Structure 1
Amino acid sequence: MAAFAHSAPCWVDVQLPDLEAGKRFYGELFGWTFRAGEEVERGGPGVDALSGGKLVAALAAKQDGRMPTAWGIYFATDDIAATVTRIRQAGGQVITDPVRVGSAGVLAQAADPGGAVFGLWQAGDRSGFQKQNEPGSFCWTEVYTRQKDRVDAFYERVFGFRGTDLGAAGMGESGRGESGTREPGTGGPGSTEAGTGEPGTGESETPESEPPESEPPESETPEPETPESGPVESGIGGSGADMPGADFRMWSPAGTEPGPDTAIGGRSVITDAFPAEMPSYFLNYFAVADCDATAETGVHLGGRVSVPPFDIPYGRMAVLHDNQGAEFAVLQPPVSR
């Protein structure tokens, strides 16, 4: 069974106050079906989410009301103990030391120097996504931070990422895959093949702060009514590749030629236009067949749209919150030509 390359995004999960309400929301929004998931140490009940019978995510019931209602991202590692050591050495914080999830694998939770939380997954019987870069599945992640220099150095040291600043690679439309299912700006965070399962059930032990809303863009997207409800400010989500001066860095795995075709995620910047207490965070994207219809359905199901659908060089995207407040983005890839 194929495994994810070291440092590749390999799983997402969400902590929800009401698990059944989450199943109804995402089941109708993405067409997901669900089955009972693994329970990890200190975790609660959770379910695997499947798209077309393939594992794509997990939903978990929050056991501590102080924890944020948020989607979390996991990066694959072939040596979780060594990765945890590098996180501490590079100025990050280990929130949850490595814990075994039965025979599925080992997970840990950490935060970068700017405070953005992410997970680690060392595969056992399960590698992660069985499907990605297709409608109803994960397709991209990006971190928002105020401490870009420290954060860039951190991820490059911990995961060996190689950075490409926006515009430096002549991004244009080069990130489009022939299948039309690639994520913003790259050849896909699934250029390594998906494995056979998920890391656990969604137990993301994150700091006690709610996920921030998206931030206002420099152009093209609607102006926010308030800083708390504005669109993503920069990077793929808010500016695309055609915006001069956007402060966005794409990350490619070690051993690859950095650029749009190999990037697996990105880093954007939270500016002083937003309150200093707004924490750093990861925004995770899901591919959809119709961005506008998905946004409308999300509202119908009790969610809200913080960034209305708009076009970027990599398709059409929007940022939503589910019916319990968890933030995520959706991307409709461009039509193949």
Structure 2
Amino acid sequence: MPAPKDPRAEPCWVDLLTSDMEGSTQFYGQLFGWEVRHDEETRDEGYAEVYLNGEMVTGFIANDPDSEVQDAWTTYLNVTDVHAAAYATKMHGGKVYLKPIDIPGQGTMAIIGDPAGTGVGLFQAFQSADTTASRAPGTRIWNELHTRHFEAVARFYRVALGWCLSPVSDTDEFRYHTYGQGSEAVAGIFDISSYPDSKAGWRAYFAVADAEQTVALAEKLGGTTIHEPHDSYFGRMAVLSDVTGAEFAIIAPSRKQESEA
């Protein structure tokens, strides 16, 4: 069996901060076929595990109404040493929003911010695991950071977290770099300076079988279409928001992408 890859600060997980646990359960359950499990141990902590075909794919976290934090999907990066990564964050112009804390039986996590203030999670697992994104419908397929401070943010990820960035396009009109090249890419950074309507932050993408059908179902369930389905190198994609306004994206992988998987 192939050995798990060493942690290298690439996206490994996403979870949803939601102010409507029941509404999110209904929305994503019907949209992606997810099963949300509220067990006795985690219910009081405001956390629910989410499964697809018996495999845990994400988690829902109850948003405290007094927190003044918007509902959102959070991306996590796997790291070898979360304490060292938090220290490097502060050394290179970032911030630590949540100091490293232990998650019993799983690992240690923290929440940091890049020099533009955009937050992302860090996770150091107690045991190695394969965290590669999947192309199966209903699973995480891609993560990318949208920023209006491209140079400072790209430098931060290079020097603080060890990213090796490769340009896909490097013009003022369209600047997009990936962590890794081609089919080996695991994340992207998108300069949205020329896109005034775009929202800064990390975006989670989920694989679907049909983009148009998924968009139509999302709207029927109370979601909103932010960007209509359109073609990209990766496949047919769209940007949506759920019943509480948390944004996410979907991709129906192209045959070329599937053949490279």
Partner SS state of residue 22, structure 1? helix
Structure number with the bigger relative contact order (C-alpha 8 A, sep ≥ 6) is: 1
Q: Is the 8 A contact 1:54 1:130 kept in 2?
A: no
1:104 maps to which residue?
A: 106
Secondary structure of the 1:86 match is: helix
Percentage of matched positions with identical amino acids: 30
Cα distance in 2, alignment partners of residues 121 and 150 from structure 1: 23
Q: Which structure carries more helix by proportion? A: 2
Aligned residue for 2:48?
A: 47
Structure 2 counterparts to residues 1-337 of structure 1, below 5 A: 2=4, 5-36=7-38, 39=42, 44-63=45-64, 64-124=66-126, 127=129, 132-167=134-169, 245-252=173-180, 259-271=181-193, 274=196, 280-335=200-255
Which residue pairs with 1:173 in the alignment? Answer: none
- Structure 2 counterpart of 1:59, one-letter code: F
Query: Does the aligned pair in 2 maintain the 1:310–1:316 contact within 8 Å?
Result: yes
Change (3 A) 1:96 1:248: same
Preserved contact between residue 115 and residue 281 of structure 1 (Cα < 8 Å):
no
- The match for 1:238 is none
Asked if structure 2 preserves the Cα contact closer than 8 Å seen for 1:317 and 1:331, the reply is yes
Q: Look up the equivalent residue of 2:192 and give its one-letter code.
A: I
Structure 1: any 5+ residue segments left out of the alignment? 169-242, 253-258
Aligned residues: 253
Q: Contact 2:97 / 2:111 at 8 angstroms: preserved in 1?
A: yes
CA distances 1:289-311 after superposition (whole Å, capped 9, x unpaired): 11111100100000010101111
Distance (Å, rounded) in 2 between the aligned partners of 1:59 and 1:133: 21
Alpha carbons 2:4, 2:130 under 8 Å: kept: no
Helix, strand or coil at the partner of 2:184:
coil
Is the partner of 1:293 in helix, strand or coil?
helix
Question: Which protein is richer in strand relative to its size?
Answer: 2
Q: Deviations over 1:264-321 (max 9, x none)?
A: 111112226638xx87311110011111111001000000101011111221000000
- Read off the aligned partner of 1:27 and give its amino acid letter: G
- C-alpha root-mean-square deviation of aligned residues, in Å? 2.6
CA deviation profile, 1:210-236 (whole Å, cap 9, x unmatched):
xxxxxxxxxxxxxxxxxxxxxxxxxxx
Q: Deviations along 1:118-147, whole A, 9 cap, x unmatched?
A: 000011258575872321010111111111
**Native 8 Å contact 2:34 2:52 kept in 1:** yes
Gaps of 5+ in 2: none
Rate the CA distance shift 1:116–1:60 in 2: closer, same or farther, 3 A: same
Query: 1:247 is matched by which residue type in structure 2?
Result: R
